[in-house]
Each structure stands twice: as C-alpha cells, then as structure tokens.
Amino acid sequence: MKPGRSALVIIALGTLVVLSVAPLAGPRWIDPCILWKGENPLEARILWDIRIPRVLVGFLAGMGLAVGGTAYQAMFRNPLASPFTLGLASGASLGAVLAIHLGWTKLLWGTPAVTLCALMGAGTTLVVVYGLTRLRAELSVATMLLAGVAMSFLNTSLILMLQYAVDPVRAFHAFRWMLGGLEGTLGYRDVLWLAPVVVAGSFILWVLRRELNLLSLGDEWAAARGVSLPTVKTLILFVTGLMVASIVAHCGPIGFVCLIAPHISRQLVGPQHTRLVPAAALLGGAFLVISDTVARTILAPAEIPVGVITAILGGPFFLWLLLTRPLSWEWVP
C-alpha cells in the first residue's frame, strides 16, 4: 500500500476512535458497560439525546470547514486562503447579531431565527462578492479576494456599530455567539440540517478533484487541460460557500479548522486531491470534536467556547508548521 493510502487508513481509524470516545466524555464520564446493561436510563438519555448529536454536529462542521478550506486554497493558489477570507463568517455574524439585537428569538419553519438570519447574511455576502467579481473581471482570483476582504471589513464595522448602540445584555449574547460553540445542539435536528449539505458539498468537491489539482497549478495550466474556468470556479465558490454558510449559521464562526486540517493532510497524504479531500474531511471533523470535548470538560461544569479552544490548539501548531515545514501544496502531474 502506498504511503498516502496508508496514512489515509490511519486517519480514518483514528477518527473512529475519536468518535467512539468523545460522547462518553463530559462533566461526568459515562461508562459504556452500564449503558449496555440498562442500569442507568438517565445517562443513556444524556448520551443518545445530547452528547452523540453534539459530537455528530461537531464532526460535520469540522468536515465541511476543512473541505472548504482545501478547495479554496487550491482555487486561490494560496495556502492561507479559506472560506472566511471572502467574508462568509463576518456576513453570518452580522445576520446573527442583527437578529439578536432585534429580539428575534422565535422559531421560523422549525429553525431559530438567529440561525436563519446568519445563513442569509453569509449568503448575501457570497452573492455580493460573486457579483463584484463578475463586474470587474471574469472570476479573477485577485478581484474575488479584494471583494471578500472589503465585504469582511464592511460587515465587521456594522457589527461593531450594532454592538456599541445596544444594551449590554444583548451585546454580550451576540459576542458569545461570535465565539462559536456547539452547546446549543439538542437532539438530532441540527444533524439532519447539516448532514445533507456537508456530505453533498464534500462529495461534489471530491468529484472535482482533477479540476482542483489543475487549478492549484494555475489558471493557464488548467485552461490548457480543458477546464472551463468560469464554470468550475463558480461551482466551487457556491458549493463551498453555501456549505460553510450553513455551518457558521448553526455553530458560529469557528476559526483555524479550515486552515489547520488541509495543511496537516498535505503533510500526511500528499497534495493530490483524490486523497487530500477525504483526509482533510476526517482530520477536520476529528479536530473539532476533540476541541469541543476539551471545551466542555476542562472547566466542567462550565464550558469554554469551542472557537477559543480551536484558536488555542490551532494557532501555535499552525505557527510551528509554517516555521518548520515548507508549504509544499501544489500538485505535481
């Protein structure tokens, strides 16, 4: 078996271990033997109705963020690119903050209004960035990045203005949402929301693995090999954007996952997207599940926002990776 495939198998086995152990950890450790014997129905309900759904949502969120980061890094040919670069996180945050400050707390179509507003904020930002890019050039990477940065600054300034103008209670509620977290996961509603979007989006990006390989070499090379640049870039932009927007709307902006997982995956399985996309998906999901497990156990019964944990774990490691290893990320045909 080739080294890249062996590493992918090891990553998959490690992810299974993480998914098996994480639901048992918490303020109180749940003994699986007691569950099988049926001696403690309360702990069984906590496991099946609270912890397992939370772990599944965390895995799906990490999976989608990592795959989205992998696709954007190939399309932009930039190892520091991510879906957040285009302002999706700030757009979702603006929608959520607006809903919180206006007091929209009711369910709409079975979904919290904050989640729907966050989704609409991210979607609006994505459409505006795409529209500005098409006005200036034919999906120029530089124009797209500049439009994304501009929208990110605009959204952030509006958030700061709203935070300054409202009462402190709602401002803190909005600030807490922007730290990211999975503590709002109860039952399998969010799992059913995210699973189709993340699985379908990740599969589409894996199907485009050849195009991602060629885009990582440059637009000229990809066009010479028959890639329809406008079509493929538009598909990658919107598939990844909608997937990440759905994740941020449910979990808040959780940083570093979309940067850390692709880089670690390249070091383990190589730069070809045939193996890189599934490896990043598994590592991203496992990383976020581990981070959330730390967030809800390290100061139990209190919880730390998982976005803080991913920054604490991911930031120093990412700096170490940048300083000690070359960023070899282009695919060599």
> Residue 72: which of 251, 247, 311, 273 has the closest Cα?
273
Percentage of residues of the chain with pLDDT beyond 90 = 46
Reported CATH class of domain 3-324:
mainly alpha
Say yes or no to pLDDT of 326 above 70. Answer: no
**Dihedral sign computed on CA atoms, order 277, 283, 287, 293:** positive
**For range 258-282, the mean pLDDT:** 92
Q: How confident is the model at residue 274 (pLDDT cuts 50, 70, 90)?
A: very high
pLDDT, residue 329, reads 46
Span 33-70, pLDDT tens digits: 766 766 677 888 888 889 999 999 999 999 999 999 99
pLDDT, residue 109, reads 63
**For range 272-293, the mean pLDDT:** 95
> Residue 212: which of 157, 268, 280 has the closest Cα?
280
pLDDT, residue 331, reads 42
- Domains in the chain: boundaries: 3-324
- DSSP reduced 3-state for 124: helix
**Amino acid sitting at position 173:** H
Residue 228 CA to residue 278 CA, distance in Å, equals 24
Residue 240 CA to residue 68 CA, distance in Å, equals 5
**For range 73-94, the mean pLDDT:** 88
Q: Which residue has the higher pLDDT, 187 or 263?
A: 263
Percentage of residues of the chain with pLDDT beyond 70 = 91
Residue 266 CA to residue 58 CA, distance in Å, equals 22
Span 150-204, pLDDT tens digits: 999 999 999 999 998 888 888 998 998 998 888 877 788 889 989 999 999 999 9
